[in-house]
Amino acid sequence: MLMPIAHGGHSVSAITLDISSNQTAYNILTAATAAGYNASTDSTAIIVNVATGVDIVGSSGNPGMTTGALNAGSNVTINVASGATVCGFDGAQGSENAAGGNGTDAIKFAITSPTGTYEVANSGTVGGGSGGGGGGGNRGARKQLYSDKGGDYCVNPISYGAAGAAGANGTSCQAQNGAAGASGTFIGGSTQCVVTNPGAGGAGGTAGKAVNKNSHTVTISGSGTYHGATS
């Protein structure tokens, strides 16, 4: 929707994007283009209003909301109403020995060589996605040591240790790092007869940012809650 705004004594149109229903990986460029915006030639200002009660969440590898590659000269204002949330995607828990997945940003600015003015005015909640817990380490295994006049031999049965516990996931939309998985262990058998070493456990995934400015100059305002970095 095009709305006239006052700028320097002249009437300049702005594209206003009102979000009144839940969204996943909302792309401002995509929505603005559908409203008649042309990023290659159009420096029209864009105003995004996230209504009370609306939840915007990221998807795997994508932030909750991104500007996309808007025109460098387009001013962007993102208003998050009281009772609205914009959250990044939470990383998955890692499989055995593997690291947990990383959370994504709640809001990400992605404008090339930006020259406009940018603001996030938050009266609701903006939170980066949390990291997934690291997978637990695999269990160790050792055979028994048997000795006779001919020498030392590793023989069955195989003794298996315990697998490590997986690390805890960070709380959703709280921009918390996931916890590392615990190491596996040996139980029984001989130190000279290792079949499988226990795994060390995977690292926890890292949290996304509440607002990823991506080297843009962005004003952060409002009385709402930010979970995670705004940098």
Calpha distance 193→71 (Å, rounded): 65
The pLDDT of residue 208 is above 60: yes
* pLDDT bracket for residue 9 (50, 70, 90): very low
Convert the pLDDT of each residue in 147-188 to its tens digit.
998 899 999 999 999 999 999 999 999 999 999 999 999 999
* Alpha helices for the chain (secondary structure H): 28-34
Calpha distance 16→87 (Å, rounded): 21
SS3 content of the chain, % helix, strand, coil (to 5): 5, 35, 60
pTM above 0.85, yes or no: yes
Distances (CA, A) of 22 to 50, 53, 69, 117, 225: 9, 8, 23, 27, 19
Convert the pLDDT of each residue in 88-142 to its tens digit.
999 999 999 999 999 999 999 999 999 999 999 999 999 999 999 999 999 999 9
Residue type for 147, please? S
